[in-house]
Amino acid sequence: MTALIPLSGVELRRHTDPSYPVADSTFEPYAHQQDLRELFATQESFLAVNDSPTGGGKTMSWLAPVVERGEHTLGLYPTNALIHDQERNIRAELSEKFPETELGEDAKLLTVTADTLRGEYAERFPKETSNGARLRRLLREEIYHGSTQVILLTNPDIFVMMRRSLYGRPGNPGAKLRALNEFGTVVIDEFHRAGRKEQNTLLFLLDEMYDLPEYRCALSRIVLLSATPTDWLEDRFKSGMSPPYHRVTERRGEIEQRPFDDNPSSGWGAVMPPVELDVRSASTFGTSETLLGEDWDETCDFASKSGRTVFILDGIREVEDVYTCLDERLDEQEVVRIDGFHRGDLESKLNRFDVLVSNSAVEVGIDFTVDRLIFSAHDRASFLQRLGRLRTETVRQSARCYVPPAVTASLNERSHTESLERDELTRILKDAYYDPRDRESFDWRYSAAEAYHHLQRRARDANPELEDEIRSEGWDRITAHFAPDSGLTREDLERYIDPIEDAVEDTLKWYRGDSLQALVYDPAGEGREAIRAYNLFYLLRHGDIEFYPRKEFEQMVPEKHHAAIDNTAAYVTGFCTYHGTIPSNKDGYGRDVALEPTPELYRWLKTEEDRKGRKPRIVDDLSVEVDVNNGSRRIDSIEHLREEMTDLDILAYVVDDDPNAVKNQYDLGPFFFLYGLLMPNGLRSIALGTDALYLHCAVQDEAESVDLERFGVDI
């Protein structure tokens, strides 16, 4: 199934504005940049969403007013690659766009990631022995003892750890990182890319900070750089959050942004080019089979045209297969790949490539030009993000995407004799894609429990005279955010907290939750890329790997990486070396991987035999079985991994059917990670980490729907 869609470009109106605080006399701001600056100038507090198009200058929209005001600002970015990319961009803007003697020169730009904490800041503060100590020292020196404005770029994980006092001191693990309260503005980029749990966590913590008295916390302005908010998020912004809500593009949107099909108009800036979009069907993780199979001749013809071609696929295995075949076929072109295991020599690759094959590693945080694009898209966000890589030319460009058949069918329902506008494309995709993790019931079942646990910790650690106030205001915030119309009670919350009390402490308190990862040493990697945490199940299925006990692993790894091991070891399961991927078997697959039940799991399933009554719980250990009967290479060192898995403490939830049946029953899709559990009476399904909670919500939602139908309630 295919659809050929002429897609309009997007242009924004430029404005002559001598008052705009940049030194570049040729700079003409867009309306969204002017309007956000006006909010900063006229409103003491707000929650603003800027959903202007990709490439439309959202960074400048907040950078200009915060530099003009000279206040400390915290920027949150979803990936470390994007943090470093934005650091380069913002540093260039500060030096080029702002008057040296008045604004830009007085702003200090800092980046905080796990890498900078154990690298740059470990060298700066050699007496501090932990990431938390280095972060506290950095902020104390720059915020309390510094004399200039600080713009701090970090990721949501570190922000949540700062707010929840997870960077404690020895002997005082709950010590607060008080310098966080000195930031007057918080900016969150790519907010729409966060999952429901992550969005709930960020909004609740920011709202809590905003409501603190000014003498305790300076936060008064929250800026979300995002796609157009969904209906439920708009409701949350308007009714759940305390600061007044503004959508920056709403006031002048219809007259400031419009489509174009040929050349952009005079006085307007093109931010997205027109695109000839060829939409084709393929299964998730199966795009490479189509590219290298029935579409192979077209693939080679597309990639061999003059200019630069980019492939963005879903899986590393797909990247490797497509890269290998194109590299062998296209003798006259420079074919390169960039993924989690091939990021070395990054700048050189981006400068020299004719054909780039990659995955989500280049969605954000890496800047390059592209003339034509082939991409797969498993959800709406990835579709729009990957299509948005075509942004540098005003002439019509070519793109081909591979999506699930239902999405192709939705796009085919519309007549394509005229160009499709980007806003309409977004609306079609919103209806065509389904996110199994986007469940309203997750809010009151688990986000509320997470917030309640956080509230209990705050009240416990507070001065006695503030304890009652914290509990009362916190409860009002929980109901406003997660259950405004349901009559949620503390007894309801405690009912959900009870079965996952340990998980709330050890899993939900983190921004993303947890997953099973191995610490990987790649001898062919360079610098920080040589050692990283990576998805354990991908490594087991496709990796040429060897596991070691930690002490032997440290002997294998150069000493310069030992600090990274020390900082990461607590968050991984297993230690291995990586030497690329194994060849696929005759059917195109790697090893078969499943989990084996332990005595603890047997006891759990015996006591909770009913699927509807079974609840997620922490399991202490698991075991793994790797089947090589399909001809794949053995992992002789698997016992070293099994030894590490006897001390896991990970959240789990089991459903009494095989993974394919469970995914079909609850419409979970291929990107929901569900694993086989080998039982004497057949294969069952087990979800781990936060996915255990999403799966439990799916099971409960269906069960409750069936119960309502039984009583004649129209649902």
Lowest-confidence pick of 36-50, 188-202, 353-367, 600-614? 600-614
Rounded to whole angstroms, the Cα distance separating 503 from 496 reads 11
Q: How confident is the model at residue 714 (pLDDT cuts 50, 70, 90)?
A: very low
pLDDT of residue 713: 40
Which of 284, 282, 303, 304 lies closest to 293 in space, CA to CA? 282
Domains of the chain, by residue range, sit at 11-257, 258-432, 440-502, 517-706
Q: Taking the model in full, what pTM does it have? A: 0.91
Q: What is the mean pLDDT of residues 640-666?
A: 90
Tokens of 121: 């800041």
**Taking 90 as the threshold, does the pLDDT of residue 45 lie above it?**
yes
Instruction: Identify the pLDDT of residue 172.
Output: 58
Among 133-147, 227-241, 377-391, 596-610, the least confident range: 596-610
Cβ proximity of 237 and 191 under 8 Å: no
Are residues 107 and 148 in contact, defined by beta-carbon separation less than 8 angstroms? Answer: yes
Higher confidence at residue 8 or residue 526? 8
Per-residue DSSP letter, 633:
P
Given a contact cutoff of 8 angstroms between Cβ atoms, the answer to whether 564 and 531 are in contact is: yes
Helix (H, G, I), strand (E, B) or coil at 557: coil
Q: What is the pLDDT of residues 66-76, one digit of tens each?
A: 999 999 999 99
Tell me which residue of 76, 57, 58, 55 sits closest to 191, measured CA to CA.
76
Fold of 258-432: Rossmann fold (3.40.50)
Average pLDDT over residues 274-288: 91
Tens of pLDDT, residues 349-386: 999 999 999 998 888 767 788 999 999 998 898 999 89
Residue 452 has pLDDT above 90, yes or no: no
pLDDT, position 101: 46
Q: Is the dihedral of CA 175, 177, 182, 185 positive or negative?
A: negative
User: What is the reported pLDDT for 171?
Assistant: 53
Q: Please give the mean pLDDT across all residues of the chain.
A: 87
* 272 pLDDT more than 80: yes
Say what the pLDDT of residue 347 is.
84
Per-residue pLDDT, 277: 94
Alpha helices by DSSP H, 394-544: 405-412, 422-432, 440-442, 448-461, 464-482, 490-497, 501-503, 536-542
Which of 369, 347, 308, 360 lies closest to 88, judged by CA? 347
Nearest to 624 by CA among 638, 609, 603, 607: 638
Mapped onto helix, strand or coil, the DSSP state of residue 622 is coil
Q: What is the pLDDT of residue 631?
A: 55
Q: Residue 703: which pLDDT band, with cuts at 50, 70 and 90? A: confident
Higher confidence at residue 654 or residue 714?
A: 654
CA distance 689 to 535: 13
In what order do the strands lie in the sheet containing 592-596? 617-619, 650-655, 682-688, 675-679, 592-596, 623-627
More confident residue, 41 or 703: 41
Strands (E), 53-136: 73-76, 107-111
Q: Per CATH, which fold does 11-257 belong to? A: Rossmann fold (3.40.50)
Is pLDDT larger for residue 323 or for residue 508? 323
Q: Which residue has 């409501």 as its token pair?
A: 211
pLDDT of residue 710: 40
Query: Which segments within 471-574 are labelled E, that is strand?
Result: 517-521, 531-535, 543-548
* pLDDT tops 70 at residue 628: no
Same CATH topology for 11-257 and 258-432? yes
Once rounded to an integer, what is the mean pLDDT over residues 238-261? 89
